[in-house]
């Protein structure tokens, strides 16, 4: 019974891209729409994003960040003000040219990101060092005209929070950008169970308009890397272009230092590709919209459904719980739980009730255990949820470690990149070498990891040109 | 001291429109942007919307509604599918014609509302009566090209939730549309302290594509009406145009019955115009982002700030509290609290601490009371918050009642409309009379209130043509 169902989706090793598409549709996260590259987020898909929102929003509010809302439309002249920025974004902008039946005097971009809108507003509200820092954030969608799209990973419209902050001085801005990266790391690891490598981007991979781009990089099941969150130190690029200045304590005019940073619906794509298996989605317990599905066995028998709903009530004090009381067979319901990645399934039938116990099946390992049906159950399930989270994280970490190779050998580098994973290899610092590596292996520089930043490079040679190396870089093919 | 500050804003009776603009800017709810008709929501302005979101979202989830997310872009051919709908919205649509450097093959509308996107998706996910009802909602912004805009009340981009549901049969859909209207009424009255009149729109004022539009109408300080929330019974207009069908229990194909409904950032405009006074904003306590501002008196003196922060901690268990420990004078801080409409201000200085008491000033009446500074304070403040809410609601209700006149006399009707307020007067049911009334008095039919629907009209004459009246209508000039 279970086997037939499994056949409904492609296996990961057969065709990872197809497996991904199958999961996204069969687990009912998304639907396609008639707008190319835009997805419909179905209730479970959107609930995942809502849960990420809730967690990140709480953390931002705790650290004195305030939510605001900028218009979604950006006049073309504003977008043109910061040179690097416009160069980076102009090719992917959706342009509004008509309002009603009238052609507009100036085209409006649907925001691809909102640095310039924030800059315009910051100029109005920042006057003195007393107004700093300004720590703003907004939860919105943005539009970037993408050629090749895939649900969650790369869509024309996608959802994110974008933080935008202004600071008195370089150090304060840099601390902010790094602290946000740490917060993202914690969300990735402790909520999504996805291990990340923290680091800084090389110049060619930086955000258009930033002085440093900090990044959390992670490996998917297929060995390709995903930039799961980034945090940019913008320096004074925008504040000088937009004249965002303040009087410092000495009464002198100074341009603010800025940051911007984001977590996006892409992180959900990462979660799917790190944890999913050939039976379907596997959701980390701390983010799952439904954490427990109760499946009644022989539900037509006296007392079974009552007991199932009593159990739901008991567990709902601590977890998000549903009962599947549809008229489908239990086997179908088990498969459905597996496809949808629900962390814990509880089976309860007449015999279980008689024995005062339930069968508890965890999604990550599919192991079954029997638990006593009394007030101890909530604590036992809570412990199990932590165990599931830890196991999912450990499995992902082990796989990422297995797929990470430090090498100074060109052939080994190429073979490892082809196989899939991070190659940690020295680099001379020249963009031409990054380009050559990309051309030859399709790998890009993902980051210079924080832990490798201070390494002695004096006897290291660039993996590409053989010249004196300056940095140890994580290289990989990437999404 | 207080007087000088009051002069900073226009008074309501002097120029209500200017007063409104002053409030919105000085209470730091909004900033203008360089996009015509689009506003920047500053932290307090956005927090008001977040609070409305939180309350409405909880109620929707409790009644089994699920959040989803449709793309913001709508292909032109989809918008054209439902004839009345496109006629209603086409003149105000913002059109995307270019993606990056390429002209699109088909123009895309930025959603002015999402009936057609939901319709397309519903067709994919509804097959059987078992799939009904589908109760969906999304929190987004929409864009409508407006000529005359005003922050919150009418902006090119505005924020809302839009609910879209599908039902098995007319009755089920109608019940949903009415239940949602009741929920909105409850939010308006018990959260925003705004009394509403519930009713149904005349045909000419219906949503483009609806069979019934239910509405909550309310009166502002100046006597103009505001449609603060609406709920539409769409019947089968969209389901027939989009072929959203299901197999009913008898195995026969049937088109679903639908509803759609919204609360928008407009409700914040209503809150300002109902409750604000000549000193500034007055926020209802249950929606205020800051409910209590503690103002330390002689804060340089030993122990005052410590005590103020202790008090903040105590009160934070039940309320949203801030301490204004800036280096401004207390008088300035009092005025600032009044301008920003913070429901309760607590003054605490050395003498208060000695006497173990605090001075509590409510924003609505500006009355001062002394309360004991001990653990009873939280309960006493909670009672005061309820009292403030009730008083604000009663004041608004009394004003609305005073400005509502039932009349069958044409001259009295015209005079009352000019004065400002609801005229409840009979109508023959002809659109030509609605048009004539609008031409002559600038009043529109706001609704046929539920309580007047069953009234005996046999001896009533239309206030316009004098012919046999069919309905009692609330008429008013409106925002």
Tell me if residue A190 falls in helix, strand or coil.
helix
Answer whether residue B3 shows pLDDT above 80.
no
Question: What mean pLDDT do residues B26-30 have?
Answer: 97
What is the C-alpha to C-alpha distance for residues B343 and B360, in angstroms, rounded to an integer? 10
- The rounded radius of gyration (Å) of the Cα atoms in chain B is 25
Angle at A454 between CA A450 and CA A459, to 5 degrees: 125
CB contact under 8 A, A157 and B35: no
Residues A200 and A183: beta-carbon distance below 8 Å: no
Kindly report the nearest CA distance between residue B243 and chain A, in angstroms: 16
Whole-number pLDDT of residue B2: 43
Q: What is the pLDDT of residues A294-327, one digit of tens each?
A: 999 999 999 999 999 999 999 999 999 999 999 9
Three-class SS of residue A111?
coil
Distance from CA of B138 to the nearest CA of A (A): 10
Helix, strand, or coil here: A243? coil
Cis check for the bond before B133: say yes or no (omega within 30 of 0).
yes
> Rounded mean pLDDT of A172-179?
98
Q: Distance (Å) from the C-alpha of residue B156 to the closest C-alpha of chain A?
A: 9
Cβ atoms within 10 Å of B235's Cβ, excluding its own: 20
Q: Between chains, do B34 and A96 touch, taking CB under 8 Å as contact?
A: no
Kindly determine whether residue A38 and residue B73, on different chains, have CB atoms separated by under 8 Å: yes
Domains defined for chain A, CATH in brackets: 16-275 (3.30.930.10), 292-384 (3.40.50.800), 403-476 (3.30.110.30)
CA-based nearest distance A247→chain B, Å: 17
In the predicted model, what is the mean pLDDT of residues A227-255? 97
Q: How far is CA A409 from CA A184, A330, A354, A422, A473, in A?
A: 33, 54, 65, 14, 14
Is A94 close to B90, i.e. CB distance below 8 A?
no
**Whole-number mean pLDDT of chain B?**
96
* pLDDT tens digits for range B256-272: 999 999 999 999 999 99
Q: Write down the pLDDT at residue B293.
A: 98
Beta-carbon contacts of B196 under 8 Å, excluding residues fewer than 6 positions away, are B185, B188, B189, B216, B217, B218, B228, B229
Q: Which whole number is the average pLDDT over B310-338? A: 97
Which of chain A's residues have a Cβ under 8 Å away from the Cβ of B159?
A: 69
Q: What is the pLDDT of residues B399-443, one digit of tens each?
A: 999 999 999 999 999 999 999 999 999 999 999 999 999 999 999
pLDDT of residue A7: 52
Yes or no, beta carbons of A157 and B73 under 8 Å apart: yes
User: Which residue is closest to B142 within chain A, CA to CA?
Assistant: A72
pLDDT of A3:
44
Helix (H) or strand (E) holding A440: helix A431-441
ipTM for the whole predicted complex goes beyond 0.90? yes
Per the rule left: phi > 0, alpha: psi between -120 and 50, beta: everything else, B238 is: alpha
Q: Which residue has the tokens 């190319």?
A: A36
Separation in Å, CA of B410 to nearest CA in chain A:
38
Q: Is the pLDDT of residue A443 over 90?
A: yes
In chain B, residues with a C-beta closer than 8 Å to the C-beta of A125 are 31, 42
Which pLDDT score, from 0 to 100, does residue B147 have?
86
Backbone angles phi, psi at B122, to 5 degrees: -55, -40
Interface contact flag, A110 B96, Cβ < 8 Å: yes
In this predicted model, what pLDDT tens digit does every residue of A9-33 receive, in sequence order?
999 999 999 999 999 999 999 999 9
Per-residue pLDDT tens over the stretch B58-77: 999 999 999 999 999 999 99
Query: pLDDT-based confidence at B7, cuts 50/70/90?
Result: low
Contact A474, A199 (CB under 8 A): yes
Best mutation target, B25, B28, B40, B328, to test chain A (most A CBs within 10 A) = B40
Phi first, then psi: give them for residue B208, nearest 5 degrees.
Answer: -65, 100
Sort out which chain A residues have CB atoms less than 8 A from B125's CB and list them: 31, 42
And the tokens for A305? 């459904």
Confidence at residue A82, expressed as pLDDT on a 0 to 100 scale: 82
Sort out which chain A residues have CB atoms less than 8 A from B138's CB and list them.
46
CB contact under 8 A, B117 and A39: no
Residue of B nearest to A138 (CA): B46
pLDDT digits (tens, 9 = 90+) for B170-210: 999 999 999 999 999 999 999 999 999 999 999 999 998 89
Mutate to test the interface with A, among B49, B100, B131, B162 (most CBs of A within 10 A): B100
Residue B324's closest CA among B345, B350, B303? B345
User: How would DSSP label each residue in A124-162?
Assistant: HH--BGGG--EEEEEEEEEE---SS-BTTTB-SEEEEEE
Q: What is the DSSP string of B325-360?
A: -SSS-HHHHHHHHHHHT-SEEEEE-HHHHHHTEEEE
- Tell me the nearest-neighbour CA distance from B350 into chain A, angstroms: 27
Q: CA-CA distance, B275 to B234, in Å (whole number)?
A: 34
pLDDT on residue B88: 82
Rounded-to-integer distance, Cα B228 and Cα B193, Å: 13
Q: Among all chains, which residue has been given the structure tokens 């005003």?
A: B150
**Torsion of the alpha carbons at A46, A47, A51 and A54, rounded to the nearest 10:** 70
CA A150 – CA A220 distance, rounded (Å): 15
The predicted structure's pLDDT at residue B84: 81
Are A353 and A306 a contacting pair, CB within 8 Å? no
Record: contact A41-B143, CB cut-off 8 A: no
Residue with the bigger pLDDT between A208 and A423: it is A423
Q: Which of B97, B98, B108 sits opposite A35 (nearest CB)?
A: B108
Beta-carbon contacts of residue B345 (< 8 Å; ≥ 6 apart): B292, B293, B294, B295, B334, B337, B360, B361, B363
Average pLDDT over residues B212-227: 98
Segment B367-397, tens digit of pLDDT: 999 999 999 999 999 999 999 999 999 999 9
Tens of pLDDT, residue by residue over A94-115, are: 999 999 889 999 999 999 999 9
Asked whether the beta carbons of residue A71 and residue B108 sit closer than 8 angstroms, the reply is no
Other CB atoms within 10 A of residue B54 CB: 11
């Amino acid at each position: 019974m279970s086997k037939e169902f499994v056949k409904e989706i492609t296996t990961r090793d057969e065709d990872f891209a197809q497996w991904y598409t199958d999961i996204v549709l069969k687990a009912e996260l998304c639907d396609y729409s008639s707008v190319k590259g835009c997805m419909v987020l179905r209730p479970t898909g959107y609930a995942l994003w809502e849960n990420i929102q809730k967690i990140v929003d709480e953390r931002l509010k705790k650290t004195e960040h305030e939510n605001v809302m900028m218009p979604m439309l950006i006049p073309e002249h504003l977008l043109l003000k910061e040179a690097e920025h416009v160069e980076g974004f102009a090719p992917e902008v959706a342009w509004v040219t008509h309002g009603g039946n009238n052609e507009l005097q100036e085209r409006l971009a649907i925001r691809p990101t909102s640095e310039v809108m924030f800059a315009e507003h910051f100029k109005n509200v920042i006057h003195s060092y007393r107004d700093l820092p300004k720590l703003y954030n907004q939860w919105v969608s943005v539009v970037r005209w993408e050629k090749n799209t895939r649900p969650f990973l790369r869509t024309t419209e996608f959802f994110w929070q974008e933080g935008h902050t202004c600071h008195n001085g370089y150090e304060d801005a840099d601390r902010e950008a790094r602290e946000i990266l740490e917060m993202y790391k914690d969300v990735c690891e402790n909520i999504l169970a996805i291990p990340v490598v923290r680091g800084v981007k090389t110049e060619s991979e930086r955000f258009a308009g930033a002085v440093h781009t900090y990044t959390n990089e992670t490996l998917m099941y297929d060995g390709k890397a995903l930039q799961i969150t980034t945090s940019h130190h913008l320096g004074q690029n925008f504040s000088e272009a937009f004249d965002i200045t303040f009087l410092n304590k000495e009464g002198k005019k100074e341009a603010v230092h800025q940051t911007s940073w984001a977590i996006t619906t892409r992180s959900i794509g990462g979660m799917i590709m790190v944890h999913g298996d050939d039976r379907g989605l596997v959701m980390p317990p701390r983010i799952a919209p439904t954490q427990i599905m109760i499946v009644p066995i022989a539900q037509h028998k006296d007392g079974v459904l009552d007991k199932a709903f009593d159990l739901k009530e008991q567990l709902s004090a601590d977890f998000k719980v549903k009962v599947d009381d549809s008229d489908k067979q239990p086997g179908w319901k088990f498969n459905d739980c597996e496809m949808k990645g629900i962390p814990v399934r509880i089976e309860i039938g007449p015999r279980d009730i008689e024995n005062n116990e339930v069968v508890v099946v965890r999604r990550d390992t599919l192991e079954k255990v029997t638990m006593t049906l009394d007030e101890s159950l909530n604590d036992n399930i809570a412990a199990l949820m932590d165990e599931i989270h830890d196991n999912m994280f450990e499995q992902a970490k082990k796989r990422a470690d297995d797929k990470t190779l430090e090498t100074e050998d060109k052939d080994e580098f190429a073979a490892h990149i082809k196989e899939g994973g991070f190659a940690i290899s020295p680099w001379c610092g020249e963009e031409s070498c990054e380009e050559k590596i990309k051309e030859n292996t399709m790998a890009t520089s993902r980051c210079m990891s924080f832990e490798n930043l201070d390494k002695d490079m004096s006897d290291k040679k660039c993996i590409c040109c053989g010249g004196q190396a300056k940095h140890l870089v994580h290289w990989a093919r990437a999404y």
